[in-house]
A and B are shown apart, each in its own frame.
Chain A
């Protein structure tokens, strides 16, 4: 058991604005020239897509719980989300997802409740009718039903279980919409695999740190490195170096102290690194550098044990939800009306087993819940769900909604992509679920 109050050693390690992502690389053959500095006034022709990957296999049945279903109650005796009649403090009850107010009627109204840790999103984006949920989402079994973290993450990020697929689906998206300048960013020191491919994309630890540093004269060092890293040689190291120096030039030419980059609308970002990352994403969006896709990671979702009761404010899973929801709610508030040009989607490599195991958690499963948030999103729970959850042979929630059906709708309707078949070559096209307005 790791003590949550980590020893002093860990706290001395510096944490930068974003943090570790995972993933692979970018090699640019076709976009070889150094970045031209484009006009900051030219608007994008589609939403900025913010993809948040919940690493570890997020238990969708806990985050978005079918809390009234009798089978849910019996299969998850200790970790089920309780309704308001079962707990003294309403803050510890599930938050029902029902139509009304800004939320148009939807078929599954009343079936689900958000985990109490998600309160910040329930009272903001959900109440505004701008938070959509798709449950039982995943990679269909006909393509892959792997429960291996590595394989599944890879499949989701490249958008296919096919071995020959090496680029990330978001890189193909950038290619589709004709991205230029700094179109794709992932938080951390490595580029997210979903952004890997021929279109240049960038890993970034923080805005302030994105530049050449460490030398007695960083200007001279920048000059030397820019000369050495030559695009167009076909050498991937040289190409990525060249792209990097172009992006550095752009980022460092912006006055980040300008008031337009301050947090707006009274939003307050909590202290987590995820929130700090979102705050910087908001700044990068406002900088008009051509941003079209962002990838961020949130870890800690591989809950094999001790998830904690949802009504316990100190429960582990509740803490994970809080970090996610509080960060997204602050971002939502900060952007304000600019959320009309942003769509956030959460994915995870799989869900978890329906019944809880002997150690207070759940093991690797299949279907999970996706969240989609944005000004152009239609609030509600979309797509089919089973009338009653039951334990299957492998004890999983069967995937009913291909996550790519959701992403294809988002990337076309909100993002402006025109070739969804190219985005997801092995996806069987299906009608959109109506997540977008």
Chain B
């Protein structure tokens, strides 16, 4: 598994090393290349290239993400489409519930758009794997070349002056911007879900740059598509294989085959745990590790360097039978065996235990921490009947009465809470990736306890309320709300700040009284109505007169920011 600040994996393979990449100085520290050369990192060593026999692929073509062309403007609003009839069981879903449960949070105009489209018309638009009727936000990140570069190109970026920072910040800022500004909210929520499901920690090894292309090829093309496609993409993702130590896994070496990826492939990505017990044996782990040995990386000094490659010299050619005989293959000759791995990954993707595991995780994300066994079972059946397609599985979950009953039963995790606050206050932020805004957002997420893309363990960030509800967690998120509402999340005196314009959000005509104003903010900006007692308490605490004209608060920037910031601290806004 992983650890922080650890040196790279070494191997006993010592073939001729390739030409060393140019040395780079990083803020005056020793060149990474020099350090790597001194310790003989495996990755350079594994670049010896014996004959590639037997039809194994040398690279994967990086698939183009389907859907809207990122350089084109977003499509027009879908005003002429007929609303969809609610499925049986889904009649109780209101716009308020849809916003809380299927998006990162309310945004001005969203509720009206949902009402106009009809709730289920809007949901089906959101479920469309290519988002035909919904605007994306890709034009905001069109300048982020590390997202569209090849791995080789991103290596060059990371190796350049300040390049490591750019690798990190482009991915982080793109992720936040997409979550805040894309109208394909359910899709972005699912990207967050799968990023955690297939978690890798980009700083475990020096190949941080792999994560950028990884994110664009594993998660983003498949988040509402087929799980089986995404699983295979993940199994051939060099970021994943590097993170879980499969790159140097080598059957011909004394250290032998590495079991880390094989274990997590089953325990975390597919079969999961059943009743606290592994539904696979240690012998299965060893067998799967043999099948996956050789699923590695291309070290050739060409444009495909750092892409996935099946390296036959690393692959175990033993006969393998695992999972109670569900998978078996005979002994293979040199160069064979790649297809066995594809077959195994597909078997795991389609395994009924995997269907239950994925269904359960989806129910935990969208319904509550304790979904019923009946719902999990039925969702798993839909998953299997649709050849592991994610969208129909979600639709089934959303159409259950349990989904409606689960409203406000999940606590917003810090990333969701921050994005939700930015959306609720219609914050604007620069599209440039390396500004004080990026730094501040990253620092804020670290303080909140969910640093973006910095989960060290492969299980991803926990999706259970108990993990996120604690004193420090609350104090931090309340502080964030207070700062954001008064334009202090970033430094307003510096360029590239996050800007919140509260007066622009208020309705016209204005609410009559201060109490009316607070109620309006809670209901319409936060999508979380608060009761009269709590409105009165806020007025008392802030020395507002509840019956005075609302302009006594809305006309005073300090008072308005205090009131709005506090509304985002109310218990009901912590929940979705």
Contacts and interface: CB of A to CB of B under 8 A. Distances in A.
Given A25-B465, A225-B478, A360-B10, A12 B562 contact: no
Interface string A1-23: 11111011100111010001001
A221 B482 contact: yes
Contact of B9 (A27, A191, A359): A359
A148 B267 contact: yes
A224 B541 contact: yes
B439 A237 contact: no
Nearest to A244: B471
Contacts of A305: 6-10
Nearest to A217: B562
A14 B443 contact: yes
Contacts of B538: 224, 227-228
A306 B443 contact: no
B301 interface: no
Contacts of B439: 9, 12-13
21 contacts: A2-B204, A9-B164, A25-B465, A25-B467, A150-B457, A188-B472, A191-B470, A205-B475, A212-B482, A216-B558, A220-B542, A223-B541, A224-B538, A227-B541, A228-B534, A237-B411, A241-B571, A299-B4, A299-B456, A301-B3, A306-B9
Contacts of A357: 255
Q: Which 10 A-B pairs have the closest CB atoms?
A: A358-B255, A214-B482, A189-B449, A5-B29, A1-B8, A25-B466, A214-B479, A224-B541, A223-B541, A302-B3
B204 to A, nearest CB: 7
A8 B165 contact: yes
Interface stretch (B31-39, B147-155, B303-311): B31-39
A211 interface: yes
A339 interface: no
Contact of B457 (A13, A149, A196, A240): A149
A228 B9 contact: no
B32 A3 contact: yes
Nearest to B557: A216
B473 A16 contact: no
A212 to B, nearest CB: 6
Contacts of B253: 358
A24 B255 CA distance: 37
Given A3-B29, A306-B39, A212 B566 contact: no
A158 B474 CA distance: 24
A304 B245 contact: yes
A203 B565 contact: no
A223 B476 CA distance: 17
A29 to B, nearest CB: 14
Contact of A248 (B9, B464, B475, B486): B475
A303 interface: yes
A157 to B, nearest CB: 13
Contacts of A7: 26-27, 164-165
B482 A24 contact: no
A261 interface: no
A364 B566 CA distance: 47
A364 B285 CA distance: 14
Interface of B: 1-12, 26-30, 32, 35-36, 39, 41, 164-165, 168-169, 203-206, 245, 248, 253-256, 263, 267, 273, 275-276, 411, 439, 442-443, 446-449, 451, 456-457, 459, 464-476, 478-483, 486, 488, 534, 537-538, 540-543, 558, 561-562, 565-566, 569-571, 574-575
A209 interface: yes
A41 B470 CA distance: 28
A149 B1 contact: yes
A301 B248 CA distance: 21
A256 interface: no
A247 B29 CA distance: 44
Nearest to B561: A216
Nearest to B267: A148
A238 B411 CA distance: 12
A190 B449 contact: yes
Contact of A2 (B205, B245, B481, B574): B205
Given A190-B468, A205-B476, 15 more contacts: A13-B442, A56-B3, A150-B459, A210-B475, A212-B479, A221-B541, A221-B565, A224-B541, A225-B478, A225-B569, A240-B471, A299-B4, A302-B1, A304-B3, A358-B255
Contact of B475 (A209, A217, A220): A209
Nearest to B285: A147
Contacts of B472: 188-190, 202-205, 210
A396 interface: no
Contacts of B451: 13
Nearest to A57: B1
Given A12-B443, A188-B472, A24 B466 contact: yes
A189 B3 CA distance: 20
A229 B449 CA distance: 21
A189 B6 contact: no
A88 interface: no
B343 to A, nearest CB: 26
A216 B562 contact: yes
A302 B442 CA distance: 26
Nearest to A19: B446
Contacts of B3: 56, 299-304
B469 A224 contact: no
Contacts of A205: 447, 472, 475-476
Interface string A350-392: 0000000111100010000000000000000000000000000
**Most-contacted residue by chain A among B2, B3, B467, B575 (CB, 10 A):** B3
A359 B255 contact: yes
Contacts of B468: 25, 190
A306 to B, nearest CB: 4
A300 B10 contact: no
Given A1-B39, A8-B165, A203-B472, A216 B255 contact: no
A290 to B, nearest CB: 15
Given A3-B26, A14-B447, A189-B449, A235 B4 contact: no
Contacts of B11: 358-359
B255 A2 contact: no
**Most-contacted residue by chain B among A205, A216, A303 (CB, 10 A):** A216
Contacts of B245: 304
A213 interface: yes
